[in-house]
Amino acid sequence: MDLGLQDKVYVLTGASRGLGLAAARELVTDGARVVLTGRQQDRLDAAVAALGGPDHALGLVADNADPAGAERVLSTATAHFGRLDGVLISVGGPATGPVLKAADEDWRAAFESVFLGAVRFARTAAGLLAEGGVIAFVLSSSVREPIPGLGISNGLRPGLAMAAKSLANELGPRGIRVLGLLPSRIDTDRVRELDSLSPDPVAARAAASAAIPLGRYGAPEEFGRVAAFALSPAASYLTGLMIPVDGGALHAL
């Protein structure tokens, strides 16, 4: 199936590695061009090289928590590649730990990056996108089920999902789609970090795998293919929904 990605341009935040980079790789493979953001220039340079160089990708140092970042990134992307067709908004996970151990400052810092930074980026993108554009959020399975040890994430991501659904209603009349992706145990550095918090990381991974109907962690490219489809014109009638990419791990409808 032709996803219709040839010469489309997408901005992906927090995409120098992990799920964002996996999505970028699939987009570029199908003919799109991408602008990646991250906090470290060396990682961005490596990602751009892996994606085929400057004809296919551009890397910009940016932090979603920076109030000026969204405007700078999106205007640079549009100037560099001449158009903007969509954004994939993701951020690093907030501090780990239970709700009872999270300090006020931990919540404030996470809100600025995980919630407000993402909403600001989406709001700025909405002002630039034309009919057929798409805004997608990389969220988490914690939108529907809390994940032990991730109290702050469990608190913020469901609210961001509801903000995304509200945006879908607001932007639908303009022909702009908004949706969310809900990864669970995808084999990234972040998930391995969470496993390492256990006294026995190997046993923790085995137990988590056993709880997934497919019996294993997902590969980043499996998430990337879903993201590329969701962003593409081939998904033109999908909006306002949350798409689990979890091997069946979520028990809720």
Confirm whether 2 is domain-assigned.
no
At 226 the pLDDT is 98
Going by the DSSP 8-state scheme, the letter that residue 239 receives in this structure is: -
What residues pair up with 77 in beta bridges, in sequence order? none
| Per-residue pLDDT tens over the stretch 199-253 | 888 998 999 999 999 999 999 999 999 999 999 999 999 999 999 999 999 988 7
| Per-residue pLDDT tens over the stretch 156-186 | 999 999 999 999 999 999 999 999 999 999 9
| Per-residue pLDDT tens over the stretch 38-96 | 999 999 999 999 999 999 999 999 998 899 999 999 999 999 999 999 999 997 778 88
Give the CATH number, domain containing residue 97: 3.40.50.720
Confirm whether 244 is domain-assigned.
no
Q: Are 189 and 127 in contact (CB under 8 A)?
A: no
Averaged confidence pLDDT in the chain: 95
Confirm whether 251 is domain-assigned.
no
Distance CA 137, CA 241 (A): 11
Confirm whether 142 is domain-assigned.
yes
Band of residue 127 on the pLDDT scale cut at 50, 70, 90: very high
| Per-residue pLDDT tens over the stretch 136-152 | 999 999 999 998 889 99
Neighbours of 91 (CB within 10 A): 22
At 195 the pLDDT is 84
Q: Is residue 123's pLDDT more than 90?
A: yes
Band of residue 192 on the pLDDT scale cut at 50, 70, 90: confident
At 229 the pLDDT is 98
At 54 the pLDDT is 96
What value does the mean pLDDT take over residues 186-203?
A: 86
Number of domains in the chain: 1
Q: ∠84-90-94 over CA atoms, to 5°?
A: 155
**Domain ranges, residue 163:** 9-239
Tokens of 226: 């879903």
Band of residue 112 on the pLDDT scale cut at 50, 70, 90: very high
- What is the strand order of the sheet 57-61 is part of? 57-61, 33-38, 9-12, 86-89, 134-138, 177-183, 242-245
Phi, psi of 71 (to 5 degrees): -60, -45
What value does the mean pLDDT take over residues 10-16?
A: 96
Confirm whether 3 is domain-assigned.
no
Phi, psi of 225 (to 5 degrees): -65, -40
Confirm whether 84 is domain-assigned.
yes
Residues belonging to the chain: 253
Confirm whether 247 is domain-assigned.
no
| Per-residue pLDDT tens over the stretch 85-108 | 999 999 777 888 999 999 999 999
At 158 the pLDDT is 95
Q: Are 120 and 70 in contact (CB under 8 A)?
A: yes
